[in-house]
């Protein structure tokens, strides 16, 4: 599964880890995260994330 980078702050969403504090279970692909989820570091929405190369 691909990791996604929050461009403004540098947080990396790793699907293998998920975001347990944000209610996203480990193993959840980025595409399956609810649209109202926000970066746990800076609070920006999914639209600012890019695929990590």
Q: In what order do the strands lie in the sheet with 4-6?
A: 12-13, 4-6, 49-51
Alpha helices in 1-53 (DSSP H): none
C-beta separation of 8 from 50 below 8 A: no
Q: Which residues are annotated as a binding site for Fe cation?
A: 6, 9, 39, 42
Q: Which residues are annotated as a binding site?
A: 6, 9, 39, 42
């Amino acid at each position: 599964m691909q990791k996604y980078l929050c461009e403004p702050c540098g947080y990396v969403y790793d699907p293998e880890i998920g975001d347990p504090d944000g209610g996203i279970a480990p193993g959840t692909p980025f595409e399956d995260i609810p649209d109202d989820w926000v970066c746990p570091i800076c609070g920006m929405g999914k639209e600012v994330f890019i695929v990590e190369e």
